[in-house]
Amino acid sequence: MSETMGKATGLTRRGFLKTTALAAGALSAAGVLSSMTGCAEQQSGDPAPAVEEQVFSGVCRGNCCQQCFLNFHVREGKVARTSMRPFIDERYNRICMKGYAMPEKIYSPHRIKYPMRRVGERGAGEWEQVSWEEAIAAITDKWKQLREEHGPNSVAFVTRTGQHGTAFRVAYSRLVAMFGGSVMNIAADVEFGQGLFDTIGLPAANDQSDYVNARTFIFQGSSFTESTYHHWHFVREAQKNGCKIIVIDPVYTGIASKADIWVPIRPATDSALFMAMINVAIENGWIDWEFLKKNSVAPYLVKKADGMFLRMKEVGGAEDDATPVAIDAATGEWGPATEVADPVVEGEHTVEGIEVVSPWDLLLESISEYTPAVAAEICDVPESVIREITEIYCTNGPSSIKVGLGPDHRHYGSTHYAASGIFAIVTGMLGKPGCCHGYISGSYAYESAGINVPDGAEPLAPTYMVAPSQFPEIMETGMYAGAELPLKMIINYGNDFVRGRGNRQETIKALEKLDMLVSINLEMNDTSLLADIVLPVCEWCEYEEVNGAATYYPFINYQEKVIDPLYESKSDFDIVKLLFEGMGHPEWFDWELPDLFTRYYGEELYARIKEEKCVYHQYWEDGGHRYIYGEDGAWGTLTGKLQFYTEVPLPYSYTPYGRERSIDVLRTPHFMLPNEAWNETAGGYEANPLSQKYPLIMQETHAKWHSQSNFVRMGILQELNPEPTVRISKKDASDRGITTGDYVRVYNDRGHVVLKAVVNNGIRPGIVDMPNGWVADQFVEGHFIDVQTDSTDENVENASFSDSLVQIEKYEVSK
Ligand SMILES: Nc1nc2c(c(=O)[nH]1)N[C@H]1C(S)=C(S)[C@@H](COP(=O)(O)OP(=O)(O)OC[C@H]3O[C@@H](n4cnc5c(=O)[nH]c(N)nc54)[C@H](O)[C@@H]3O)O[C@H]1N2
Ligand SMILES: Nc1nc2c(c(=O)[nH]1)N[C@H]1C(S)=C(S)[C@@H](COP(=O)(O)OP(=O)(O)OC[C@H]3O[C@@H](n4cnc5c(=O)[nH]c(N)nc54)[C@H](O)[C@@H]3O)O[C@H]1N2
Ligand code: SF4
Ligand SMILES: [Mo]
């Protein structure tokens, strides 16, 4: 039920648009903001509101993940504006310009209005409108035919993070679970996941409200004030209390401008830096041995033969006793680690004839060559700075490390997270107020087992995980992982498949070989532009939804149905229903929305969510909360302990496709050269010869004014951020005669893109940076993904967009 807020300002929807357009054209950002929120109206002392306004609760559910709580203000049946709706804990109350831009998103001319079928060349933008019946039949007839002729894996589902609603997730996962087939989800943020899971465990990080307790805060590869801005005020509060901020980033970012120390590191070298910092901590006696004995794998013993921990069952214990063995420091006797109060944590030993070594020794062996002097060369960070930041972190605690996704988008990205994680582990800066390492707190899944598969039903086929990096090869050879994979059709939803891989030209070539590409979306994103069938999805406020699946906040929030679906759009839930029907199995998805929420959250919680609109997550309320991650001694690793040595790295989620993992690289900290983007000879490593032709490292950051591609077409935000840009250092720009505002061509052998240059004195020479999210038709020519690599390292299936070398030149735009 909505709440009626008396009378509003008398502005009709048209009046509202006129105001914003004027404001957008003539005023500062603050002016735009105030007119969008209605503040301007209130300040101007307008007469009493003449139009009744209803207010509904809702959630901004794009992939910024902050999942802000919104009021949708409806006048005369239309969403006139959005405003911040208070959470049940006011410390989290925030929304951003994108949240305010929601009305424009809803009424955007770029929305897909009805189902469409491609009639011209792929990508030519020629479409015919078709009915829902025709569109669904075209999809399901093809799907059935392909299953029959080539097997279920000939159809691939691809999704990622476009939408975080519960109904969205549950509906599609049931569709995929019941029909089976290939799953080729975009692999991003996985290097990060690997590095974190293997060391700190997931979910890492304390709740953001704990940031105020830190006395030192390191930001590693995080454009915090652009991508995670609602957390900034907690850090600012800490800073007011004397917290020191250290930012490790090749770019002088917003957060760097607030820092005490900015460390403009050479990209892809963080692991060397943190290994040196561990060495400095050891030299100075800053290792927290008591913490390590209690919380980490320090007491365990690694078998020299296979790198696995020695377990009781191997030395005469019960057959199923997997308790690791430890040696008592006082007696020299060995026994189950759980019973050894003061364990030996160093040295080589023999237990029952089995040669073992302490994990600590293996850590030392890995890091010993990365002295501050060596790391200084590799990272281009002075030795004195390495020592200084280590000292601050270790002696001015409690200390936290906030990692961002910068190093993730690089080859061997996991090593950078593992190394900084291990630095936090060995210094004992975890599991206490003000001490954490990681990205977000919590990853909240309710019991979804059993709701993927209807009671008594049997899935028609299993799902088959396919690595998206292999897509072009699969289309070329019809083979994957040494077996035939005749991939013929892709169903893409809540994701932009074409934008999510690197090397767009390769993707486009490969797409040509598909029988059918289906895009289920709100707007014409890069994949929709190239699709055969496009289905129009409702905006987030046009149906009931609950947001509890992925959020940085400790809340579940309720999205009321605010307005009827515009045009011919349908919710993802209803689209999935139609697909089940088209496939001849309506009985497998015969729920209405409330049935789904009841199954997922339980009757009582769902009733509360509807009534209260914002409730704490279960984990917060019933003891399982992660306010201080690890406070209870429970760490989310495979061993349940903090791992500065990783016995079994997080397994691949993809069917292996012929590559052998370098397990050693995952077990202890390692510095690994990037695959491509190494453009200077440094630290004893030769520059990649390709850098003579393409001397600049291209990297991407997440743009402040859109959430990946969500909001990227909003005019009001384009007033602040009108078009795609490339940021370039003063030196690299002047070497090429480039000034701010020039159009430039960025290119390499993979392709090129033409976009506007912004000369920025805060970027390391040798790097160009492109904020992401823009869609193909917004570039002058090409696309920034045309120059990006689609390669991945052998350890982790993850797109390494930023491991790319480019050249850049001035470009004359013909008018
Ligand atoms: N080249 C390049 N690729 C990248 C990245 C990069 O930096 N560069 N970043 C990577 C990262 S970190 C991530 S997390 C992924 C994210 O990759 P994506 O999942 O592609 O991310 P988004 O752009 O947020 O969302 C994709 C699409 O979801 C659509 N969408 C929004 N709401 C709904 C809905 O309710 N229903 C449906 N059906 N669709 C909806 C949006 O319109 C949008 O086009 O991309 C990765 N890919
Ligand atoms: N406004 C907005 N917010 C978002 C998103 C969005 O698109 N827009 N996307 C969301 C998603 S899906 C994600 S994954 C996050 C990502 O957001 P962040 O975690 O902030 O990650 P990025 O923006 O990719 O890059 C962060 C920083 O890493 C630096 N960097 C690059 N390479 C390296 C390196 O090798 N070492 C170090 N130390 N630094 C490096 C870059 O210069 C950049 O400043 O943001 C989320 N929030
Ligand atoms: S884009 Fe992110 S920060 Fe902005 S309102 Fe939406 S959820 Fe909040
Ligand atoms: Mo991401």
Query: What pLDDT sits at residue 625?
Result: 54
Q: Which residues pair with 559 in a beta bridge?
A: 545
Q: Report how far ligand 2's centroid is from the alpha carbon of 208 (Å).
A: 17
Residue 246 and residue 403: Cα distance in Å, rounded?
Answer: 12
Q: Report how far ligand 3's centroid is from the alpha carbon of 607 (Å).
A: 26
Query: What pLDDT sits at residue 132?
Result: 98
Show Cβ contacts of residue 607 under 8 Å, excluding neighbours closer than 6 positions: none
Least confident of 9-13, 588-592, 745-749: 9-13
Decide if pLDDT at 246 tops 80: yes
Ligand 4 (ion): residues with CB under 5 Å are: 189
Query: Counting atoms of ligand 3 from 1, which one is nearest the CA of 67?
Result: 7
Which of 227, 672, 696 is the best mutation target for the ligand 2 pocket, counting ligand atoms within 8 Å of the beta carbon and taking the most?
Answer: 227
C-alpha angle 394-253-698 in degrees, rounded to nearest 5: 110
Give the tokens for residue 697. 């490292």
Give the tokens for residue 601. 């959250």
Instruction: Give 3-state DSSP helix, strand, coil % of the chain, rounded to 5.
Output: 35, 20, 45
Query: What pLDDT sits at residue 455?
Result: 85
Supply the residue whose CA is at minimum distance from atom 19 of ligand 2. 404
Show Cβ contacts of residue 616 under 8 Å, excluding neighbours closer than 6 positions: 88, 554, 555, 556
Tell me, using a 6 A CB cutoff, whether residue 392 lines ligand 2: no
Question: How sure is the predictor about 34, in pLDDT bands with cuts at 50, 70 and 90?
Answer: very low
Classify the C-alpha dihedral 357-358-360-363 as positive or negative: positive
Among all bound ligands, the one having the nearest atom to the CA of 709 is 1
Q: Report how far ligand 1's centroid is from the alpha carbon of 425 (Å).
A: 33
Residue 517 and residue 112: Cα distance in Å, rounded?
Answer: 16
Q: Report how far ligand 2's centroid is from the alpha carbon of 228 (Å).
A: 9
What is the CB < 6 Å shell around ligand 3?
A: 60, 62, 64, 66-68, 95-96, 98-99, 230, 707
> Which residue, 661, 779, 552, 654, is CA-closest to 186?
654
Averaged pLDDT, 86-100 = 93
Residue 552 and residue 572: Cα distance in Å, rounded?
Answer: 23
Q: Which residue has the higher pLDDT, 626 or 78?
A: 78
Query: What pLDDT sits at residue 273?
Result: 99
Give the tokens for residue 250. 């090749």
Percent of the chain with pLDDT over 70: 91
Backbone angles phi, psi at 248, to 5 degrees: -105, 105
The CA distances from residue 547 to 91, 188, 219, 614, 778, in Å, are 19, 22, 28, 10, 31
Which of 222, 774, 798 is the best mutation target for the ligand 2 pocket, counting ligand atoms within 8 Å of the beta carbon and taking the most?
Answer: 222
SS3 assignment, position 385: helix
Largest CA distance in the chain: 90
Decide if pLDDT at 144 tops 90: yes
Residue 513 and residue 485: Cα distance in Å, rounded?
Answer: 13
Query: What pLDDT sits at residue 439?
Result: 87
User: DSSP letters along 683-733, please?
Assistant: TTBPPPGGGGTS-EEEEEE--TTSBTTBTTT-HHHHTTS-S-EEEE-HHHH
SS3 assignment, position 728: strand
Show Cβ contacts of residue 535 under 8 Å, excluding neighbours closer than 6 positions: 112, 115, 135, 518, 519, 520, 521, 570, 575
Place of tokens 């720009």: 733
C-alpha angle 608-614-615 in degrees, rounded to nearest 5: 60
Q: Which residue has the higher pLDDT, 801 or 203?
A: 801
Query: What pLDDT sits at residue 621?
Result: 60
Q: Are 643 and 297 spatial neighbours (Cβ–Cβ below 8 Å)?
A: yes
Q: Are 497 and 186 spatial neighbours (Cβ–Cβ below 8 Å)?
A: yes
Helix 270-283 to helix 372-379 angle (10° resolution) is 160
Query: What pLDDT sits at residue 620?
Result: 66
Decide if pLDDT at 4 tops 60: no
Residue 492 and residue 807: Cα distance in Å, rounded?
Answer: 33
Query: What pLDDT sits at residue 449?
Result: 63
Q: What is the dihedral angle through the alpha carbons of 166, 169, 172, 178, rounded to the nearest 10 degrees?
A: -90
Q: Which residue has the higher pLDDT, 120 or 20?
A: 120
Q: Report how far ligand 3's centroid is from the alpha carbon of 100 (Å).
A: 9
Which of 96, 545, 711 is the best mutation target for the ligand 3 pocket, counting ligand atoms within 8 Å of the beta carbon and taking the most?
Answer: 96
SS3 assignment, position 701: strand
Question: How sure is the predictor about 442, in pLDDT bands with cuts at 50, 70 and 90?
Answer: low
Residue 641 and residue 309: Cα distance in Å, rounded?
Answer: 13
Other beta carbons less than 10 A from residue 180's beta carbon? 19
Query: What pLDDT sits at residue 8?
Result: 37
Other beta carbons less than 10 A from residue 449's beta carbon? 8
Q: Which residue has the higher pLDDT, 37 or 462?
A: 462
Q: How many residues does the chain have?
A: 815
Query: What pLDDT sits at residue 262?
Result: 98
Question: How sure is the predictor about 451, in pLDDT bands with cuts at 50, 70 and 90?
Answer: confident
